[in-house]
A and B are shown apart, each in its own frame.
Chain A
Amino acid sequence: GAGVSQSPSNKVTEKGKDVELRCDPISGHTALYWYRQSLGQGLEFLIYFQGNSAPDKSGLPSDRFSAERTGGSVSTLTIQRTQQEDSAVYLCASSAGLGTGRNEQFFGPGTRLTVL
């Protein structure tokens, strides 16, 4: 399909383990965003990429969280030493990018992370 895809769809891990979440944006979209949504809560912005650069990392909740994007396409969100409060649905979105006049964000289905 032509939409944003994320993997895995579900991830259960033990407290203290590291996890990697993957996002494949829509082809040609230069902007990529990570959000998370805790149970019953609204969306929380984490980080934004324009190309491979992340001009705004202000939403990352701690230094255990990091993200990278390579080739202007796939992005990986890494959470080190996971804690139970990290349990949430992690959502990725992409948009055509700044300067294009098309800033609608298209979201993937999310990765549901459960930390036991």
Chain B
Amino acid sequence: DAKTTQPTSMDCAEGRAANLPCNHSTISGNEYVYWYRQIHSQGPQYIIHGLKNNETNEMASLIITEDRKSSTLILPHATLRDTAVYYCIVRVAGAGSYQLTFGKGTKLSVIP
């Protein structure tokens, strides 16, 4: 799986959009970008994933650059409950690529 690079930490004001960047310059054509988060003392939570098109669901939006070397997770209206460590993971969504490899992620702090 391709390696990802994320900032160690970020702050965001409550109610504002949180934009979390991820670099994955060695991504292969068949690798997807997945985002998970882990709120303190809880198990990781799946957020969203995408291949090359931008994706949106009830939790967030995922913007992937045209060259696929980077992406941004957007939480449109951050709340205090969004304070968590956010993990960007690049992996092949198919046979033989089942385990998730979590890096250090970005610790997002939502400030009142």
User: Which residues on the B side are within 8 Å of A1 (C-beta)?
Assistant: none
User: Which residues on the B side are within 8 Å of A106 (C-beta)?
Assistant: 46
Q: Let me know if A105 and B46 touch, CB within 8 A.
A: yes
Please, how many angstroms separate the alpha-carbon atoms of A56 and B95 in the complex? Answer: 12
Stretch among A14-22, A42-50, A77-85 lining the B interface: A42-50
Give the number of residues in B that approach A within 8 Å (Cβ atoms).
18
| Residue from A31, A33, A43, A101 in contact with B102 in the complex, judged by beta carbons closer than 8 Å | A43
Given A33-B99, A45-B101, A56-B99: A109 in contact with B94 (beta carbons within 8 A): no
Q: Let me know if B98 and A108 touch, CB within 8 A.
A: no
Q: Is A104 an interface residue (CB 8 A)?
A: yes
Q: What residues make up the interface of A, taking CB atoms closer than 8 Å to B?
A: 4, 31, 33, 35, 42-43, 45, 48, 50, 56, 59, 91, 93, 95, 98-99, 101, 103-110
Sample (21) of A-B pairs whose CB atoms are under 8 Å apart: A33-B98, A33-B99, A35-B100, A42-B104, A43-B100, A43-B102, A45-B100, A50-B98, A59-B99, A93-B43, A93-B44, A93-B100, A95-B98, A103-B94, A103-B98, A104-B34, A105-B44, A105-B100, A107-B43, A108-B43, A109-B43
